[in-house]
Amino acid sequence: MLHGNEEILEAKKHIVEVAKELYEIGLLVRTWGNVSQRIDEKSFLITPSGIEYEDLTPDMVVAVNIDDLSYDGDIIPSNEKAVHAVCYRERTDVDFIVHTHQVYASCVGTLGMKKVFSYLDDVDVLIPVAAFALPGTNQLVENVRKCIKKYPDLNGFIMANHGALFLGKNSKEAIYEAEKMEVACNNFLIDVCKTDIKHGVEFGFNSHLEDGKIVYDIPDTPVRVRHIHESIYAKRKDIKYIIHNKSEAVMTVSRRANHMRPLLYDFAQLIGISVKVPSNEHGKDGLSYHNIKKNVNVVFSLYDGAYCLGATYSDAMDVADVLDKGCIAHVAVMRHGEGHYLSLWECYKMNRFYRRSYSKLAATAKKDKKELLKK
């Protein structure tokens, strides 16, 4: 338990350090995921809502009441504060919680399974899966509560189509659980789903706008590719950066799929509710086959990966990263023969909420940070 303002300040600093560490190693992305620490029997500290981890400071960490979720100040705590609260209520032995959107655990969570049997260093591992519900809802809290109550001796859980949740007496225990699960889930994808795909972004032909003109990272970018970039900038006036992602997973989808329905909620939020993949070079209508749409931040190219769009380089990179994870999940579901896709209504609601809320919070945080640096 924490006593006094000094201990609480140190705890806030530690939470920021842990969040940034998880961000650096790829277990947290953009504003997704959260970290918390119990203060006492009645309250806990948690990272804020909609703030990118690179912008996070100790004063942004919020104290929340475990019972009624109340908090003081203008900074809004994580949208998943109720999930953390129910964990602290059900597990009095837990003092630290990490919720991530890590790649392989998230992908396994799209397969429609209630529990996953895998292994780690020749030791059998059981991973429970809490049923999907929209983020921030009472149903999600109840699904998590049932899961941790059913498995009181386990400290790692998958949240279906969402991410993973890890409990510990301290941050080291929680992070260790996260790392263990990622290896075990990758083993499951390789052995059961026959999906041995490394996560990451592999650059093809990138570009950005400077004073209204297109600047290509590779000067001798082919004419065919330049046409795609020109078409995207012409139709999407909000876009300033394009990253051409040719990772193994994205290339596989660009060769074999014709439609990507979201399997993961961060895909629905950041990329869009539905992504089409061209099935032939001319399109059925004889016009351009590239599907450039408002509020869909990926444009696939037949047999040649996908173009990931953003207003900033960071935005485009996040799209590329989330797309790669979504493509690994897509391939795993196809090879597994079963999966759980998000409904159109769920995707629409999450995408709309993200564009109207989270992205604005992140932009405000960046603006405030710049103003502070000027002073």
pLDDT tier at 335 (50, 70, 90 boundaries)?
very high
What average pLDDT does range 130-150 have in this prediction? 96
Percentage above 70 pLDDT, the chain: 90
Q: How far is CA 212 from CA 28, 145, 208, 233, 234, in A?
A: 33, 52, 9, 10, 11
Which of 219, 214, 244, 218 shows the shortest CA–CA distance to 230? 214
Length of the chain measured in residues: 375
Query: Cβ(184)–Cβ(231) under 8 Å?
Result: no
User: CA-based angle 338:342:347, to the nearest 5?
Assistant: 160
* Mean pLDDT on 92-102: 96
Q: What is the pLDDT of residue 281?
A: 58
Name the packing angle between helices 313-336 and 248-256 (round to 10°). 60
Q: Which 3 state secondary structure label does DSSP give 168?
A: strand
C-beta separation of 205 from 225 below 8 A: yes
Domains of the chain (ranges, CATH numbers): 4-191 (3.40.225.10), 207-366 (3.40.225.10)
Task: Please report, as a single letter, which amino acid is at residue 315.
Answer: D
Radius of gyration of the chain (CA): 21
Confidence bin at 358 (pLDDT 50/70/90): low
DSSP calls for 92-116: TT--EEEEE--HHHHHHTTS--SEE
Average pLDDT of span 153-175: 97
Instruction: Give CA–CA dist 39/84, Å, rounded.
Output: 13
Q: In this predicted model, what pLDDT tens digit does every residue of 46-66 receive, in sequence order?
A: 999 877 777 889 999 999 999
Does residue 6 surpass a pLDDT of 80? yes
Q: Give me the pLDDT at residue 59, please.
A: 92
Per-residue confidence (pLDDT) for residue 374, from 0 to 100: 44
3-state helix, strand, coil in the chain (%, to 5): 45, 20, 40
DSSP per residue, 181-215: HHHHHHHHHHHTS---------B-S-EEEETTEEE
Once rounded to an integer, what is the mean pLDDT over residues 146-160?
A: 97
The pLDDT of residue 362 is 52
Residue 339 predicted with pLDDT over 70: yes
Cα dihedral 272, 277, 283, 285 in deg (nearest 10): -30
| Mean residue pLDDT across the chain | 90
Q: Which of 111-120, 184-193, 249-258 has the lowest mean pLDDT?
A: 249-258
Q: What is the pLDDT of residues 255-303, one digit of tens each?
A: 988 889 999 999 999 999 989 988 765 555 444 567 899 889 999 998 9
Q: For 319-354, give one letter per residue: b (16+ CB within 10 A) or e.
A: bbbbbbbbbbbbbbbbebeebbbbeeebbebbbebb
pLDDT at residue 375 tops 50: no
